[in-house]
Amino acid sequence: MISTGIIRTAVGIIGNVISFGLFLSPMPTFHTIVKKRAVEDFSPVPYLATLLNCMLWVVYGVPFVHPNSVLVLTINGIGIFIEALYIITFFIFAPRRLRLKILGILGAVLLFVGVVLGGVLGGAHTHDKRTQIVGILCVIFGTAMYASPLSVIKLVIQTKSVKYIPFFLSFVSFLNGLCWTAYSLLRFISISCNNQLLTIPNGLGALLAAVQLILYMTYYNSDWAGDVTDRKSTSGYFTFVGGNLVTWRSKKQKVVALSSAEAEFRGIAKGLQELLWIKRVLKDLGLYDNREMKLFCDNKAAIAISHNPVQHDRTKHIEVDRHFIRQNLEDKVISFPHVKTDEQLADILTKGVSCTIFQGVICKLGMQDIYLPT
């Protein structure tokens, strides 16, 4: 029979792997920042909070505070290095006002850690006392680290968009909190000592990360069933000819869509009708072009349904639209390039977005405010 100690050791190893994954989880966010060369409305708070948490755990693990804590020192030392890289990257692409804010918070973090280190060395003269003081601080700021992604909750609710929720960070935080909570509870079984330093912050962390994931699922694809009065979705599209914006439309659909894919599918059908009308107008003007027209869509499920020759029970209610779209695909009239949600211009016609996204889309559309002073 496997002992509780062996299980706890295995859970601890898994926990360290997940903790390392936790430090790497913001990489998709920073890939977006570097690619766009702008931080947009992303918040630096989660990375500054994680840096503070790692620094406090390093203080906790030094020999004169809590001896024999090599693992704590190693994983949190790596965490400090990775979070420092994130903060430097964020600082490079942030506007001047946000840079000053980052420098102010970073200065306060370093000063606080220095005060803690000096305080425990000068005011506490035993390992147990130093461990208790620093451990309590680790509990408080460890919980704050888990809660830090919620700093964008107001923006998410206002815009009804999950773009600025760091999904991978929230998901890995949830796994990390669960794993280390299980580790601490197993220790309660095997050893009669109280291991609250692990149980409290990680238990609360798993709960807070779950709240973030629930928030993400609530507002994901929020243009589907976006009208709270009748739960009808909104379709929107822009059409371009030769790179020039020609027509655009935003209109609530006539029937309630049963899924985000169905809502997107109905929007594709409307956009296709507009493209065919423009093609006929151009033909009448003697500007006929036989090349495929590109209809950009960010919903892979809707694209897959369009290309699938097999009719399923779940798509019978959109059969007319499906045959209409598929016929034009087979005739090489249109093609369906997939576009990332972050780069979908039509989102400003179907949902609330932040000011930064709105201004970026307006710039890409080539639209100008004629009332701006010259």
Do 206 and 250 sit in the same domain of this protein? no
Do 110 and 213 sit in the same domain of this protein? yes
372 occurs within a structural domain = no
Do 263 and 344 sit in the same domain of this protein? yes
The single-letter code of the amino acid at 176 is N
Cα–Cα distance for residue pair 127/67, rounded to 1 Å: 8
Do 125 and 62 sit in the same domain of this protein? yes
For 63-80, the pLDDT digits (tens) are 888 887 777 788 888 889
CATH label of the domain that carries residue 295: 3.30.420
Cα–Cα distance for residue pair 133/174, rounded to 1 Å: 26
Which of the listed residues 219, 246, 263 is the one where a domain comes to its end?
Answer: 219
Do 200 and 270 sit in the same domain of this protein? no
For the purposes of burial, counting CB atoms within 10 Å of the CB of 173, is it exposed (0-12), middle (13-18) or buried (19 or more)?
buried
Do 283 and 204 sit in the same domain of this protein? no
Contact 299, 261 (CB under 8 A): yes
Sequence-ordered strand ranges (E) for 199-303: 234-241, 244-252, 293-294
Q: Would you state the pLDDT for residue 230? A: 63
Do 77 and 153 sit in the same domain of this protein? yes
Question: What dihedral do alpha carbons 158, 160, 166, 168 form, nearest 10°?
Answer: 160
Q: Would you state the pLDDT for residue 316? A: 55
pTM, full prediction:
0.57
320 occurs within a structural domain = yes
72 occurs within a structural domain = yes
Cα–Cα distance for residue pair 230/99, rounded to 1 Å: 44
pLDDT at 160 over 70: no
For 309-341, the pLDDT digits (tens) are 665 555 555 666 777 887 888 888 888 788 777
110 occurs within a structural domain = yes
115 occurs within a structural domain = yes
Per-state percent for the chain, helix, strand, coil, to nearest 5: 65, 5, 25
- Token pair of 350 as six digits: 């179907």
Do 87 and 113 sit in the same domain of this protein? yes
Number of residues in the chain: 374
% pLDDT > 70, the chain: 80
Average pLDDT over residues 97-113: 92
Give the chain's end-to-end CA distance (angstroms, integer).
81
Do 146 and 170 sit in the same domain of this protein? yes
pLDDT at 110 over 90: yes
Return the minimum-mean-pLDDT range out of 3-7, 35-39, 86-90, 92-96: 3-7
Do 212 and 253 sit in the same domain of this protein? no
Q: How many domains does the chain have?
A: 2
Do 311 and 193 sit in the same domain of this protein? no
Q: Would you state the pLDDT for residue 258? A: 64
Contacts with 324 (C-beta within 8 Å, 6 or more apart), sequence order: 269, 272
The single-letter code of the amino acid at 261 is A
Q: Would you state the pLDDT for residue 104? A: 93
Question: What dihedral do alpha carbons 347, 349, 352, 357 form, nearest 10°?
Answer: 50
Do 153 and 244 sit in the same domain of this protein? no
Average pLDDT over residues 336-357: 75
Domain carrying residue 305: 234-365
Contact 16, 71 (CB under 8 A): yes
DSSP 309-322: -S--GGGGGGHHHH
Q: Closest Cα partner for 261 from 212, 227, 220, 216?
A: 220
Which of the listed residues 184, 219, 254 is the one where a domain comes to its end?
Answer: 219
Q: Would you state the pLDDT for residue 312? A: 55
DSSP 86-102: HHHHHHHHS-HHHHHHH
